Structure 1
Amino acid sequence: MDIRGRAWKLGDNISTDHIISGKYKFKAISSIQDMVPHVLEEVIPDFHLKVRKGDVIVAGRNFGMGSSREHAPLLLKMLGISAIIAGSFARIFFRNSINIGLPVITALRIPKATEEGDILHVDVERGILINMSKGVEEQVKPYPREILDILECGGIIEYVKRYGDLPWQDTR
């Protein structure tokens, strides 16, 4: 899985409520698609109009903190975000992201070296992150094969449709 995209730079402690406010989840919204215009609206106004397919979010520590709102990573993926690189992630956000096929990568150097608009290259399988704009590279611990398989299928539901079992119950 090879990703190249433009960086969107965010800070520390970006919560699921920053990504999509709870007020939209509990309003009479007919579909998740109706939430798209509100993604990150208080952090980056009109984000849904500015983001492009393949873009990458780069953030500081504790990305996805707060509630376990599964809509947060799903809406980011729906907008075309191809990966999120952060200093650290809230555990449940990390797992929800993997479950929907959105790579989330913990890194120390790239988040500090990246500015808005930099071009990033992410080799998910080998755990290599490169800020092409700055010439900064970071090696991170690659995902285990089971997680890579889930990501390559586009999420855990697609994985189960394809293989019939979860990777840790693999009978292939």
Structure 2
Amino acid sequence: MSAHRVWKLGADIDTDALAPGAYMKLGIEGIAPHCLERVRPEFAANVRPGDVIVAGPNFGIGSSREQAVAALLLLGIKAVIAPSFGGLFFRNAFNLGLLLLTTAATDQIEHGENIDIDLSPPLLVTATGQTLACEPIPSFLLEMVAAGGLFNQLRQQLATARGSRHVEPLA
């Protein structure tokens, strides 16, 4: 396990906050610097690879735009932890390789603290040593995240089926 810095957010963070519609024509490199700017203006400029988001219920509600997930991945977010997620966001997250952890205990995690994530079984360890259980994640979803998303997973499976040893991940 390694420590991950927490960005704490409230409830009902929608996909427009993650990937603002005004920047959609700019591509993901143009969208990512505006990720969460209306909620946490300092987020995109200060997030570091390996950081995690801990939020209230209904994270990722709203439209089906997968740029909401892609912006978080481009910024280096390791996981999003919340009591519940928008259904389309949930599907897009795993399809693109972003780990989502579901727990009702997000109120026990503070902004800026470092937490550890263990996936077997899924649990979080806070800076104070408190252990917080997360809902189980099906193994096929964990495998998808480990592969870097569905397309990379399918490419790896195809390469294995063809007997190839090396497949470049999709960028």
Q: Same fold (TM over 0.5)?
A: yes
TM-score normalised to structure 1 length: 0.87
1:2-151, aligned counterparts within 5 Å?
2=1, 4-25=3-24, 27=25, 29=26, 31-109=27-105, 111-131=106-126, 133-151=127-145
Q: Does 35-44 or 5-14 show the bigger shift? A: 35-44
Shift of 1:64: 0.2
| 2:119 partner letter | V
Alpha-carbon spacing, 1:102–1:3, altered in 2? closer, same or farther (3 Å): farther
Q: How many residues align?
A: 159
1:151-166, aligned counterparts within 5 Å?
151-164=145-158
Q: Does 154-163 or 33-42 show the bigger shift? A: 33-42
Conserved? CA contact 2:20–2:31, under 8 Å: no
TM-score normalised to structure 2 length: 0.88
CA deviation profile, 1:121-146 (whole Å, cap 9, x unmatched): 11124211111x23221122321221
CA deviation profile, 1:25-59 (whole Å, cap 9, x unmatched): 1x4x2x31121211111111131111011000000
Q: Does 122-131 or 71-80 show the bigger shift? A: 122-131
Equivalence for 1:169: none
Aligned-partner Cα distance in 1 for 2:36–2:91? 20
Aligned-partner Cα distance in 2 for 1:37–1:15? 17
Conserved? CA contact 2:36–2:43, under 8 Å: yes
Equivalence for 1:168: none
Aligned-partner Cα distance in 2 for 1:98–1:4? 22
- What secondary structure does 2:107 align onto? helix
5+ residue gaps, structure 2, are: 160-171
Aligned-partner Cα distance in 1 for 2:47–2:111? 12
